[in-house]
Structure 1
Amino acid sequence: MPRILGVDIPNNKKLAYSLRYIYGIGPKRADIILEQTGLDPDMRAKDLDEEQINVIMSKISELSYLVEGDLRRDHAANMKRLQAINCYRGLRHRRGLPVRGQRTKTNARTRKGKTASVGGLRK
């Protein structure tokens, strides 16, 4: 299993898809990286040699993409900043509710979690 930037990318997937396992690299960035390195997007990740892996890593750093730990730290700092200034988005993050204007009367289970039953009397 090739290891790029501390992430094991899957062997059996095409290179264009396996690069997406790196946090911060999506479809568009994966295509850009492969186009600029000259690697075949249909090539399997298990067929990469050390030189090609180094070329991919150097291209990611050359394009100055924030990936993995740096991006996660940046994202966490942004959330912490929003919470510290007590803005609406920060309050929604703090309470674990949807941040971007979605309804919460119904259909917010992903953010709110499992339903908590409110005590009712049974006869």
Structure 2
Amino acid sequence: MTKFWVGVVSKEHVQRGVKGGFCQVCHGKKGPLNRMKKGDYLLYYSPKYQMADQEKLQAFTAVGKIVDDSAYQVEMFEDFFPFRRNVSYYQPVKDCPIEQVRLHPEWRQYASKLRYGHFKVSKSFFLYIFEQMKQEK
């Protein structure tokens, strides 16, 4: 059964993942990634543009489908070996501001989870955001 997930990551890091065809959540932890299965969908929510910066973004910034079977580890920097999953990203998309998402009837049940790095959402909630993000090709 297909599940729908949100990862909370700065837009700068989301863009790296989209470019490289991978996702990474919770500072590279393996557990959250392995909760997702091949064929599941992932929305990225970006509270900020850059992780170390204070400039707020508060928008959903990417959407994709998990295309592999399990997390794998990479060396990103010396002494940093995060886990990733391969993702096929839907492109092009536009950012969906949090103000728009607040209009969805399930918003309140997910709002407090945005401080966590990874969580499951309903298909209805996912599709609502995805529709807002689609751009005409």
Note whether the superposition's TM-score is higher than 0.5.
no
| Superposition TM-score, scaled by structure 1 size | 0.30
Higher Rg? 1
Larger helix percent: 1
Which structure is richer in relative contact order (CA contacts within 8 A, separation 6 or more)? 2
| Superposition TM-score, scaled by structure 2 size | 0.28
